Chains A and B, each alone.
Chain A
Amino acid sequence: MSLTTGFPLACPIPLTDYPTVLLGHGGGGKLTQQLIERLMLPAFNNPWLGMRHDGAVMDLQGVRLAFTTDSYVVQPLIFPGGDIGRLAVNGTVNDLAMCGACPLWLSLGFILEEGLPMETLWRVIQSIQHAAKSANVSVVTGDTKVVEKGKGDGLFINTSGVGVVPAGVVIAPSQVRAGDAVLLSGDLGRHGIAIMAVREGLNFETTIESDTAPLADLVARLLAAKMQVHCLRDLTRGGLASGLIEIAHAAKVSIDIDETVLPIQEEVRGACELLGLDPLYVANEGRCVAFVAADDASRALELMRSHPLGRDATLIGYVADAAPSQVTVHNAIGSQRMLDLFSGEQLPRIC
C-alpha cells in the first residue's frame, strides 16, 4: 500500500539538528520562532496568522472580533503573587487587550494528572473565578481530561478568549512608525524570578512576587482617551527583549531603548546578578510595551501612571528611522549593544 498524503513529507527543520523537541523550543526564543516560522506558518498560512500578533482580529459582518489561545504549564502551580489559574485568565485577557479588544468570553481546558489533590484544583478554580470577575470576562465553555499519573505535571490549563475591538482601533505591528515612543507599563522580571526562586528553592531575603495582572482596563483607558496607540505587546516568556525583537521584525523597524531608565526592583536585579541572568529576558505576566505616536507620548505616560497597574510606567525609547529590524540598547557609559533572541531559555551560570 502506498502512503500518499498530498503534503510534502520533508520536515523544514533539518531532523539532524533537532530530531526531538527540546525544552528550548518552548522558551520563547529562537527555537520557538523557528517552530512557528518553519512549521506552523507554512502549514496554516492565512492573513490573520501572518499578522504575527498576540491574537487574530477578524471582521464578522461589521463587528471586529479578537480571538486568541494560550496554554499554561507552570511549576509550581501556586507561587508568590499568583497561581496557574490566575495566570491563565490574565494571560489570555492580556493577549486580547494587546489587540485593542475588550475581552468578553473565555474557554477553559483542564488537563489534570491522576493524583492531583482536589484541594489544589479547587483553589485554582476559585482563583480563576476571582481573576475572571476582576477582568470582567466570563468563562463560557470548557473541557476536562485526566491523564495517568506521571503523564502530566499536576495540572495544565488551556484558555482561549474572544473580545470585541472598538470601531476605529487598529493595533498591530504593521502600524508601528518611525518616531513612535516606546512605553513600558511597569517593572521587569518579577514573574520569572518569583517562579525560579520557588521552583529551585532559592531563598532571598524578601519574597519576590509575580506581577501577573490583567491589562485590559489599562489599555481600554488609553484607547478611550483617543491616544494614537499603534501597537501593544505583553511581555511573557523571553521578557522585554524578546517582545521588542518580535515587534522590530514584524514591523520591519529599528528600536532604540535606554537601559538606564528600565524599572527593575532591587531584589530582582540582585537575583539576576546572582544567577547570571539578564533581566531584559526574564518573564513578566502583567506588563506590556505600548508603541505610541510621539505627540501623545507624555499624555499616554501620565495616563498609564494614573492606573494601579501602570504606576511605574516609563518611556524607554523610540522607534528609529533606520529599519534593519533590530533592537539597540544604550547604556550609562555611552556604549550600545544589540538584543538578540535567546536560543532557548536563559541558564544560570556556573560562577
Chain B
Amino acid sequence: MRFLDEYRDAKAIRGIASAITKITKRPWTLMEVCGGQTHAIVRFGIDELLPKLITLVHGPGCPVCVTSVELVDQAIAIAQRPEVIFCSFGDMLRVPGTSQDLFAAKAAGAEVRIVYSPVDAVALAREHPDREVVFFAVGFETTAPSTAMAVVLASQQHLTNFSMLVSHVLVPPAMEAVLSSPHNTVQGFLAAGHVCAIMGYTEYEPIAARYRVPIVVTGFEPLDILHGVLMCVAQLEEGRAEVENQYTRAVRREGNAQAMWAIREVFEIVPRKWRGIGPIARSGLGLRAPYDAFDAALRFDVATLSAEESSECISGLILQGIKKPIECPAFGTRCTPERPLGATMVSSEGACAAYYRYRRPAAAPSEAVA
C-alpha cells in the first residue's frame, strides 16, 4: 500500500534493528506511550528484533483503558434511559463497568450506537429531535478537536437534544505521573505521534529537561518505531535528554493551530481520574462553562455515581510500565477478552489485549538481530 508498505519493508527494518544493536552498550528501558504503538510492536514482533539490553514497557496511552469505571458506569446509566440514543466509538462497548458493559446494556434494550465521528452523533440529534442523543467523548488530544467541533456545531445549530459525556485525557501529565512514581524504571519515551500531530511537542520540552529523559516523537509503523528506538537509544548512550521528532512527515513542533483552537474554545483543563492509576492533576479536558448545556453528566445527574474497580486487575501497574501483562496472575485465565477484569484486556489499544491477541507460539524462537 502506497505510503505504508515502505514503512513495513523487511530489509529496512532489519537494517535499523542492526543499527540499534550496534550502538547499544548498556541496558535501557524505554516506554512507548501509545497503545497503538504497543499493538504494532507485538503484532509485528518488533520486540524480538531488539537487543536484549533494551526493554520496552507499555505506557498509559490507551484512552479506552484509562477511562474511569465511574465514567463507564455513568455512560451505562445514561444509555439505559428510554429517551436516550447513546453514541460511542466501538472500542468502548466491551469495557467493563462495575457490573456490566455497554454491550450488555444494549442487549437489555438500551439504544447504543457505534459512530465513527462525533459529528455523526450531532447529525443523529438533528434527525431525532424527540430523543436525547448523547456522545461518549473518549480519547486523548487526538480526538478532542473533532469532539470540540461537534459541540461548536451543535451550538451553532441550537440543538437542545445533544450532549456529551466527556472523558478526554491528556498525555503529558500522564508521562509526568509515570516519571514521578517511586517505582519508575523508564529512561526514555517514544511519544505518541498522532497526539503530537495535534498539539506539537513544546509541552514535552520542559519534561525532558526536568526529568533528564529523552523523548522521541514516534509514528506507528514498524520502521517508525524502530527508528524512534534508535534515536532514543542514541541520546541515552550519548548522555543527552532532548525532544526529537522521528515522525516528521506528520508532526510539526508547534502542532495544528486550528485543532488547538477548537480544543481551547470548548474545553478547559480539569483533574481526571485514570482507571487503575487514580487521580492525576490537570490531566483531563472538561467542557467550559459556556458549553455546560452540552454536558451529559450535568443533564442526566450522574456525576455523583461512584464505582469500585476490580481488586484483582493490575492494569494500573501495566499502564505505568511497572508490570507487563504476562506478569499478571490472572492473564489469560481469570482475565480474557470474554471475561475481562479490566479495560486493558478489551480495548483495541490495550496492552493486555495486544499480548493476548498476538501471543507467540510456544515454540517460537526469540532471537535478537546480531
Contacts and interface: CB of A to CB of B under 8 A. Distances in A.
A308 B4 CA distance: 30
Interface stretch (B78-86, B247-255, B264-272, B351-359): B351-359
A249 to B, nearest CB: 15
Instruction: State the main secondary structure of chain A at its contact with B.
Output: loop
A335 B361 contact: no
Given A337-B359, A337-B360, A343-B338, A332 B91 contact: no
B338 A350 contact: no
Contact of A349 (B45, B46, B89, B222): B89
Contacts of A335: 44-46, 48-49
Nearest to B192: A351
A59 interface: no
Nearest to A327: B361
Given A343-B337, A350-B139, A350-B143, A333 B13 contact: yes
A346 to B, nearest CB: 8
A326 B106 contact: no
A266 interface: yes
A273 interface: yes
Contacts of A24: 103
B10 A332 contact: yes
A23 B103 CA distance: 8
B14 A333 contact: yes
Given A17-B339, A22-B104, A333 B94 contact: no
A273 B1 contact: yes
Nearest to B1: A269
A92 interface: no
Contacts of B89: 348-350
A340 B357 contact: yes
Of B9, B106, B116, chain A has the most CB atoms within 10 Å of the CB of B116
Interface residues of A, number: 40
B10 A333 contact: yes
Contacts of B357: 340
B43 interface: yes
Nearest to A270: B1
Interface in A113-160: none
B286 interface: no
A257 to B, nearest CB: 12
A269 B4 CA distance: 10
Nearest to B369: A334
Contacts of B103: 22-24, 344
A347 interface: yes
A86 interface: no
B64 A350 contact: yes
Contact of B90 (A17, A340, A348): A348
Given A21-B107, A349-B90, A338 B360 contact: yes
Nearest to A30: B338
A270 B139 CA distance: 23
A203 B188 CA distance: 40
B262 interface: no
B63 interface: yes
8 contacts: A23-B107, A333-B14, A335-B44, A337-B358, A338-B359, A338-B361, A350-B139, A350-B348
Given A322-B363, A334-B45, 11 more contacts: A20-B107, A22-B103, A22-B104, A22-B107, A273-B1, A331-B45, A332-B10, A333-B222, A335-B44, A343-B346, A347-B348
Interface of A: 17, 19-24, 30-31, 34, 200-202, 266, 269-270, 273, 275-276, 322, 324, 326, 328, 331-338, 340, 342-344, 347-351
Interface of B: 1-2, 4, 8-10, 13-14, 36, 42-46, 48-49, 63-64, 89-94, 103-104, 106-108, 114, 116, 120, 138-140, 142-143, 194, 222, 337-339, 346, 348-349, 356-364
